[in-house]
Amino acid sequence: MKSISEQFGIKKVLKSLGIKDVNEGTSTGKNNFSSCKEIIVSYSPVDGKPIASVKITTQEDYETVVNTAQAAFKTWRNTPAPLRGEIVRQFGDKLREKKEALGKLVSYEMGKSYQEGLGEVQEMIDICDFAVGLSRQLHGLTMHSERPGHRMYEQYHPLGIVGIISAFNFPVAVWAWNTALAWVCGDVCIWKPSEKTPLTGIACQNIAAEVFAKNNLPEGISNLVNGDQHVGLLLTKDKRVPLISATGSTRMGKIVAQDVAARLGKSLLELGGNNAIIVTPDADLKMTIIGAVFGAVGTCGQRCTSTRRLIIHDSIYDTVKDALVNAYGQLRIGNPLDETHHVGPLIDQDAVKMYEEALQNVKAQGGTILVEGGVLEGKGYESGCYVKPAIAEAQPDFEIVQHETFAPVLYLLKYSGDLNNALDIQNNVVQGLSSAIMTNNLKEAEQFLSVNGSDCGIANVNIGTSGAEIGGAFGGEKETGGGRESGSDAWKVYMRRQTNTINYTNDLPLAQGIKFEF
């Protein structure tokens, strides 16, 4: 009988993406093999099998990458922005060609469903399209001077090297959110993907390198380093890297923020989420169940926007609870490359342990398990990473409810009275990423979106917490970090602002009417 890898043609996928059995861990645009003998072995959570080995970036390798990036920046920043956009357009087209292969690798290496893997690559394509249009819209402002014969304006210039540290759960899309914008802004990038998903990083680097080489552009516009937090520290502590964009846990973000702030650099942080959906008496219950279930179990609960808490009005609490329990009973768990399955595996055994501890904690703190969790065993579950999505009744002040559990555990919380009580529960956590309300009451919807409503960076009405469109800025408040990526004016973080004043007279009047004559 064929293995999962053989059944879904993973060797062919790796070959089409330029990945060898043992590949480079460091790249400045071409195959630049590391001299280091230390490696990362990428294991698939789908079947527990090793996929390929990746060499870890050494200090010497890192210096080569930074020097190459600095040299490339001098060329790239002088390339007109619309021409930079043309390169990004070609990159997007190349992603379209590689969409199936890259989507399948994302699914196999990370464990999300194949459809979600394809969706992630589509996000990359979408941000490229957005960035192409943006390349002709990097607008500044013109202001009136208080001095006669003067003109004032502001403009934006490239920063230089942008360091990108990404997480395993969206191994390619979040990189593209940063990279596509940074490239059209005239920056060059150094990317450290998660050590849990290094192969998708190499695949993306290979695709980008092909596009840059075809256009006779220098090595170093797109760069890759691989390794654990020690390689990440090389980036965060490096004064030659003016911006660090980091996605991950709040614990990791605090370390990054301190390192970057110590050298007065800029950081863009996308950290933890403890996202809630408020369900009011005026909610459409069918929409509520669809949004809550996908939000809680999609990507096996490993999205930063995953639904962790469901805050339900007491008048409809039992109805919603029963519908959820029924829906969870219909979930199919298994190989994510099989499109009949709803839920794939967690990323690794550490994630499984964290999931089991969360369920133990909620019971120890007085909660009631409505849908039992547990680790699945037997045929098809040999990796030991497949778990059952669980539902628990809890109280808002339970310690475990205050934390982000990166797994498919949904906490049901009850509120009474008006919407203010639900908002108090929702906002009373340290994270502030995504939030949603299910209601057909216009007043409740508007209150939820008002200054007295949700304190999150994302607030949705009648859709769930999970997922985001490219056109809007993505990010959150409080311990989510405050960063913004993707759409709107998120591009400004990748550039430095400059205010200019031009005197076109023969006099030199000073501001505020100051006299300085001799």
DSSP string, 55-96: EPPPHHHHHHHHHHHHHHHHHHTTS-HHHHHHHHHHHHHHHH
Q: Return d(Cα 395, Cα 407) in angstroms, integer.
A: 19
Q: Return d(Cα 62, Cα 26) in angstroms, integer.
A: 8
DSSP 188: E
C-alpha atoms less than 13 angstroms from C-alpha of 253 in its C-beta half-sphere: 24
**172-175: Cβ within 8 A, 24+ apart:** 172/102, 172/106, 172/120, 172/121, 172/124, 172/200, 172/201, 172/203, 172/204, 173/120, 173/121, 173/123, 173/124, 173/127, 174/247, 174/270, 174/485, 175/201, 175/204
Residues labelled as active-site residues = 270, 304
List CB contacts of 201: < 8 A, sequence separation 6 or more: 166, 171, 172, 175, 191, 193, 224, 226
List CB contacts of 487: < 8 A, sequence separation 6 or more: 130, 469, 470, 471, 472, 473, 474
Apex 260 CA angle, 254 and 263, nearest 5: 140
User: What is the phi/psi pair of residue 481, to 5°?
Assistant: 110, -25
473 three-class SS? strand
Q: How far is CA 43 from the centre of its chain?
A: 21
Structure tokens at 270: 């996308």
Structure tokens at 398: 């339970």
Structure tokens at 480: 């989510």
CB 488, CB 326: distance < 8 Å: no
Apex 403 CA angle, 399 and 404, nearest 5: 155
Cβ neighbourhood burial of 471 (10 Å; 0-12, 13-18, 19+): exposed
Nearest to 306, CA basis, from 293, 287, 288: 293
C-alpha atoms less than 13 angstroms from C-alpha of 457 in its C-beta half-sphere: 28
Structure tokens at 108: 């196999």
Burial letters 91-129, b for 16+ CB under 10 A, else e: bbebbeebbebbbbbbbbbbbbbbebbbebbbbbbbbbe
